[in-house]
Amino acid sequence: MRAFTLIELIFVIVIIGTMTAVGFSSFKPKYLINDVNFIKAKIQEAQFLGLGYEHNNFGGGGGDANLTSGCIEIKESSLEENATNKNEVNYKLHVEIKVDDETDYDSDNSPTEVLCFDSKGRPHHTDFTTATLLTQQKVFSFKYSEKERLITIEPITGYAIITY
């Protein structure tokens, strides 16, 4: 009767361990890419909601104007999606958000930037109470695990570009 030797068993265990390590390393979550694509989609959604919605022409009736339609706040707590029913899934961001130049800070000292789109899809710095048309590129930086991706918002067109 032939049996396996101890050396053969150790060799098989080492091979299985090596294959497992290679398998786990190839299935790392892609948090940075997923989060940046999610945020770009949210920016495009805000631009879509702003299209055709005339923010400064509500007639003389003094009706309630929704000045936040077409706006997005670039901040972790406002970008994460909260499920409204049990069939939806929450989305949790993993990236650290940094905004270029004129950044406002909230009470919890986290950076925030409001980006709004008018009825022609043009980007604005804030809401539509003042004329704040974006005249220069706006760059948002997202970091996760020593890697960085940028989303650049183009003036006039409002086109969002991901830079790797």
Q: Render pLDDT for 51-72 as a digit per residue (tens, 0 to 9).
A: 877 655 544 444 445 556 788 8
The model's confidence at residue 108, banded by pLDDT at 50, 70 and 90, is low
Residue 10, pLDDT score? 94
Structure tokens at 47: 């631009």
> What domain range is 116 assigned to?
30-163
Contact partners, residue 102, CB within 8 Å, separation at least 6: 125
Residue 18 lies in a domain: no
Longest CA–CA span in the chain (Å) reads 99
**What is the H or E stretch that residue 79 is in?**
helix 76-79
The model's confidence at residue 113, banded by pLDDT at 50, 70 and 90, is confident
Pairwise pLDDT comparison (88 vs 13), residue with the higher score: 13
Q: Residue 48's closest CA among 159, 141, 130, 134? A: 159
The model's confidence at residue 125, banded by pLDDT at 50, 70 and 90, is confident
Look up residue 83 and give its amino acid.
A
Neighbours of 133 (CB within 10 A): 11
**What is the H or E stretch that residue 138 is in?**
strand 138-144
Q: Can you tell me the distance from the alpha carbon of 41 to that of 31, in angstroms, rounded to the nearest whole number?
A: 15
Q: Render pLDDT for 20-30 as a digit per residue (tens, 0 to 9).
A: 988 887 777 88
- Structural domains of the chain, count: 1
Residue 149 lies in a domain: yes
- The pTM for the full model equals 0.71
The model's confidence at residue 16, banded by pLDDT at 50, 70 and 90, is very high
Residue 24, pLDDT score? 84
Residue 5 lies in a domain: no
Give helix then strand counts, H and E, for the chain. 3, 9
**What is the H or E stretch that residue 9 is in?**
helix 6-26
Residue 81 lies in a domain: yes
Structure tokens at 36: 């940046």
Pairwise pLDDT comparison (111 vs 138), residue with the higher score: 138
Report the Cα–Cα distance between both ends of the chain, in Å, rounded. 61
